[in-house]
Amino acid sequence: MAETSISESSIKEALTLRLKATHVEVQDMSGGCGQSFTSLIVSPEFAGKNSLKRHRLVNAALKDEIAQIHAWSAKCQTPEEWEKEKAATGGNDGPPLDGTSEGKVVGVDQ
């Protein structure tokens, strides 16, 4: 398999197409080197599935991409869950940023 460049936009496009996602946010947590990503994925495909099954869907959809990066995290919601959370947080929802400082992995040069 040829090496490909993994980016926020390539992951977003893949998730949108492969999971019929209605909203996707992807953030490169590695300072731009493309080795650590976090995401928020909103898809009707998640309806009726628990967290584990949702993450398995995402991992299967991004099998090739995930094999090329070091770290990956995803927050998976249905459109209804996302709308409810946006209303509760005033629209300040986004990818999980646990273990970061201002959205970047600590110790990574930019």
pLDDT digits (tens, 9 = 90+) for 74-97: 999 999 999 999 888 776 666 666
What's the rounded Cα separation, in Å, for the pair 56 and 78?
15
- How buried is 39 (Cβ within 10 angstroms: 0-12 exposed, 13-18 middle, 19+ buried)? buried
CATH class label, 8-84: alpha beta
Tokens of 88: 């509760």
- Structure confidence by residue, pLDDT tens digits, 26-67: 999 988 778 899 999 999 999 999 999 999 999 999 999 999
pLDDT-derived band of residue 1, with 50, 70 and 90 as boundaries?
very low
**In contact, 96 and 72? CB cutoff 8 Å:** no
Mention every residue, 6+ apart, whose C-beta is less than 8 A from residue 9. Answer: 26
